Structure 1
Amino acid sequence: MSNTALLVIDAQVGIIDGPSIGPVYKKEQVLGVMKSVIEKARELKVPVIYIQDLDVGSENLEDHHIHPDIFPLPDDLIVKKTATNAFYQTELQDRLQVLEVEHLVVIGVKTEYCVDTTSRGATVLGYDVTLIADGHSTTDNKVLTAEQIIAHHNRNLHGLDNVSHFILVRESSENIFEHKHLEYK
């Protein structure tokens, strides 16, 4: 597990609970999955890295804070970002290299924005990605329901590869911290 890290993307009160952006689809269920994945990572000594979007509320408002149900511990890393890709103009890549990470497990919100963009971006930077099928969520848009967006991304991202790194979409009940990608290389 030493080459694996957990990314918790934009799990902030304003996105998960709303009111201006959320609540996300199946809020309580996805929070429960995120909490259990985070607890499992800590149990396995997998680094937990929270990605926090600076555009979600101001730093002094509750909307900006990471959701209290999955709040970081003092040893967890928090990377602040302004773009949809958590690697863009942040310290994330440097931190992962210091930790010698090769495999990222991804949970968070919103599916079609930061979860998708960061997962895809990670593959071109040399990381294998495990996206947790039941560990990300979003809200309806003018064309698709949140349920359709999530299903679409789970289907389209599973097996997406860039050069020699790719994304596997797995359920939280599986052994998600296992670097299963190595079986296919």
Structure 2
Amino acid sequence: MTTALLIIDVQNAVLDGEGTPERQPAINAAFTETIGRLQSVQARARAAHIPVILVQHDGGPGNPLARSSNGWGLRHEIAPVLGETVIHKTSCDSFFQTNLGEVLAKLAITHLVIGGCQTQFCVDTAVRRAVSLGYDVTLLSDGHTTGDMGELTFAQIVAHHNHMLGGFHAGAHAVELRRAGEITF
């Protein structure tokens, strides 16, 4: 099994305004903690010469993630190093109208370790799509986060998606949940 680490939308403004003024500090704190765990997994992947692929959402004008804006930038803690691939996307789906599939095929990747931001949108879509395209997936159960949405807190959304995605399968390919600290390459 050939593995790659896929980190999705860990951008400066990805969670800005994703909660009430009272809740935003908790969202920001969880984001910082998640980034720390992703950074640790990223360091282990690099040390093991495992490909690290970063996905960056390109928002349109006026969007907090508008291309080339400060909010659009990848967080410095997980910034790519020379030779790492950055995939640019314009929808929740990291595979849709991107070259991600080509990059994975060129590297002969069969297994993706996935973490990142916007659990209920971009992370969920990437995980489900990857499995349906024939990849085995390890979802970092503590390596993805989001903001609040309506009455649901970010913690409830993350817990729900971990519950729903753990064991999700398409044919012989499935999702396994693992904590970031459990990942070895």
Q: What TM-score results when the alignment is normalised by the length of structure 2?
A: 0.89
For 1:130, give the aligned amino acid: T
Aligned to 2:159: 151
Q: Distance in 1 between matches of 2:160 and 2:66?
A: 32
Equivalent in 168, 178, 183 of residue 160 of structure 1: 168
- CA contact 1:25–1:139 (8 Å) conserved in 2: no
Q: Do residues 38 (structure 1) and 38 (structure 2) align?
A: no
Q: Distance in 1 between matches of 2:44 and 2:175?
A: 20
Aligned to 2:107: 99
Matches within 5 A, 1:1-185: 3-16=2-15, 18-19=16-17, 23-24=27-28, 26-55=30-59, 56-177=64-185
* Residue 62 of structure 1: how far off its partner (Å): 0.7
* Residue 101 of structure 1: how far off its partner (Å): 0.3
- CA contact 1:15–1:24 (8 Å) conserved in 2: no
CA 1:112 to 1:20, structure 2 compared with 1: closer, same or farther past 3 Å? closer
For 2:87, give the aligned amino acid: V
* Residue 70 of structure 1: how far off its partner (Å): 1.2
* Residue 74 of structure 1: how far off its partner (Å): 1.4
Q: Distance in 2 between matches of 1:120 and 1:25?
A: 27
* Residue 60 of structure 1: how far off its partner (Å): 2.5
What are the superposed Cα offsets for residues 111-155 of structure 1, whole Å, 9 maximum, x if unpaired? 000000000000111100000011100011103110000001111
SS of 2:13 mapped into structure 1: helix
Query: Can you give the 5+ residue segments of structure 2 that lack an aligned partner in the other structure?
Result: none
Give every structure 1 segment of 4 or more consecutive aligned residues whose post-TM-superposition deviation is greater than 6 Å.
none
CA 1:58 to 1:119, structure 2 compared with 1: closer, same or farther past 3 Å? same
Q: Distance in 1 between matches of 2:29 and 2:171?
A: 33
Q: Distance in 2 between matches of 1:144 and 1:127?
A: 30
- CA contact 1:13–1:67 (8 Å) conserved in 2: yes
- CA contact 1:14–1:20 (8 Å) conserved in 2: no
- CA contact 1:13–1:63 (8 Å) conserved in 2: yes
Q: Which deviates more, 24-33 or 48-57?
A: 24-33
CA 1:176 to 1:83, structure 2 compared with 1: closer, same or farther past 3 Å? farther
- CA contact 1:25–1:137 (8 Å) conserved in 2: no
Identity %: 37
* Residue 33 of structure 1: how far off its partner (Å): 0.3
Q: Distance in 1 between matches of 2:142 and 2:11?
A: 17
Q: What root-mean-square deviation, in Å, do the aligned CA atoms of Structure 1 and Structure 2 show?
A: 1.7
Query: Can you give the 5+ residue segments of structure 1 that lack an aligned partner in the other structure?
Result: 178-185
* Residue 106 of structure 1: how far off its partner (Å): 0.3
Q: What TM-score results when the alignment is normalised by the length of structure 1?
A: 0.89
CA 1:65 to 1:94, structure 2 compared with 1: closer, same or farther past 3 Å? same
Aligned to 1:182: none
